[in-house]
Structure 1
Amino acid sequence: MTARMFPVADRHRDRVYVITGGAKGIGRACAERFAAEGAQVMIADIDPAGADLAETLGGVFHRTDMADPDQVRDLAAGTVERFGRIDIWHNNAFSAVFKPIHEQTLDEFDRITGIGIRGYWMGAKVAVEQMRRQGGRGVIVNTASVQSFVGERGFSAYQATKGAVLALTRSLALDHAPDIRSVAIAPGLIATDAIGDIPEDVIEEVLAGIPAGRAARPEEVAALAAFIASEEADYMSGTAVILDGAYLAIG
């Protein structure tokens, strides 16, 4: 039986939520969840499908390449111009290739880390700058991964970004406590289109090691993000919340 996700009505009413990589997968589910809870949603992505989603949700789409600092600044400025403020900034965009390191190219590494390290840092920077201008309150959510904690063959560049995400999350929390919180979400295998880029034998290997017996649904990540960003989680900062079906519990 598929579990149902129950949005909490009005929990994020009139709060402004920015989601990067928001056109599909985890990002799409998060945009839908926050909109259902009353947030005004800014969807950032290089995928034009984000425009259709924004129209459906009554939000705004901003085409943004998170590897380009100028575009990240434009995203923040565009959000403030449209909504007047930024309350929640969710760094979620990513790039990855499945290759052993000796087959990866420097261009691939630069693209992956440009989004997953520099893009996250830049996103947090512009969000914090705006949050301070508007009085200092706000939440930074960073999508990390179980690969922040354990290795997986073929993902060296991607894993480097996810390890960095944890360090960034902790530093942000310390720099801006008690007013601006920073929390990472560390999902395991997620049932999204991105799975199609991973060889089937690797997926089967990972699934075999998940005690829950399945991949997570994007909606489950979105439900967690909505809780983390809410006042109910006001004492949560500088940490990562793992959502992995007990994958890491095996040790």
Structure 2
Amino acid sequence: MPGPRFTDKIIFITGGSSGLGAEASALFIDEGAHVFIMDLAEKGILTRLGEEKATFFQGDVGKPEDCESAIRACVDKHGRLDILFHNAAQPTPMTTVPFHDLVQFQQIINTNLCGLFYLARIAIPQMQVQKKGVIVATASTSALGGEYGLASYAASKAGMLNLMRTMALDHARENIRINAICPGYMPTPMTEGLGELVKVVEESIPQGRGGDPTEVARAALFLASEDASYMTGQALIVDGGWSAHSGAPNLLKYVPQQFRYDEK
């Protein structure tokens, strides 16, 4: 059985106090890492993870000064930064562009897209000094195509993908790998507002359910690890088959049973 992949690695995680970020933090620690969590609130994550392996920094990734302060604090504490996992995100209101609040639109772009830029511009020089580093960003299946009523969120996540790809090209020969995960629907604090719509969403997923945050976190750990040493500039989709669907109706439901080869 292979040993831990992140022994003594320093992992900087945004949005690490809950949801996907919290599950990823726990998995990183299970594999030997120290995690430095930047989030708006601590939410008891240090009690869960243990303060000997986790550090919390209160900050807003939508503010460049907070991002710089957090990265500097991480390096000051640990002497290095091996992996940056930008996972923090702000959800979008479900509305069309003419009715979208301007301030809220800018906040979503700042958190989701600009946050990656703000963090990378400080983290990459540190990784250049170390001659090695990894960045993983949480994008979304919303980055892969248009989605009804999600203008700001889809735009921010699509922008993240091309920012990720461009940085990956710029720094590939410096031994700095940069990739993204694209989760589909999963039950987290950010998706709690869906209420009864969850059933509608889950019925549209080929596997018939939302993803567990731990399942998606494992994909992030894969990209962060040496198991993905020849991957950079890639978007890894983790969505239960959602994005594999062309959008066409499932006509198989209407084919008479005697003609269905899959049941013979």
TM-score, with structure 2 as normaliser: 0.88
Aligned twin of 1:181? 177
Aligned partner (choices 184, 192, 199) of residue 196 of structure 1: 192
Match of 1:120 in 2: 116
Structure 2 gaps of 5+ residues are 247-264
Cross-structure match for 2:167: 172
Unaligned runs of 5+ in 1: 1-6
- Checking the alignment, whether the CA contact within 8 Å between 1:72 and 1:123 is kept in structure 2 is yes
Count, aligned residues: 243
Q: Computing the radius of gyration over CA atoms, which structure comes out larger, 1 or 2?
A: 2
Aligned 8 A contact 1:17 1:86 in 2: yes
C-alpha separation between the residues in 1 aligned to 2:161 and 2:48?
A: 29
The CA RMSD measured in Å over matched residues stands at: 1.6
Q: Does 1:132 align with 2:128?
A: yes
Q: Distance in 2 between matches of 1:8 and 1:165?
A: 33
Change over 3 Å in CA distance of 1:102–1:51 after alignment to 2:
farther
TM-score, normalised to structure 1, is 0.92
Q: Distance in 2 between matches of 1:19 and 1:95?
A: 15
**C-alpha spacing 1:58/1:221, structure 2 compared with 1 (3 Å):** same
Q: How far has the Cα of 1:35 moved from its partner?
A: 0.6
Return the alpha-carbon distance in structure 2 between the equivalents of residues 211 and 87 of structure 1. Answer: 36
Over residues 3-35 of structure 1, what are the superposed CA-to-partner deviations in whole Å (9 max), with x where a residue is unaligned?
xxxx96421001110110000001001100101
Counterpart of 1:46 (choices 40, 45, 51) is 40
Matched-pair identity in %: 35
Contact preservation (8 Å) 2:186, 2:213: yes
Residues 26-45 of structure 1: pairs in structure 2 closer than 5 A: 26-45=20-39
The structure 1 segments of at least 4 consecutive aligned residues displaced by more than 6 Å after TM superposition are none
Q: Distance in 1 between matches of 2:223 and 2:184?
A: 17
1:57: Cα distance to partner?
6.5
The alignment status of 1:146 with 2:141, answered yes or no, reads yes
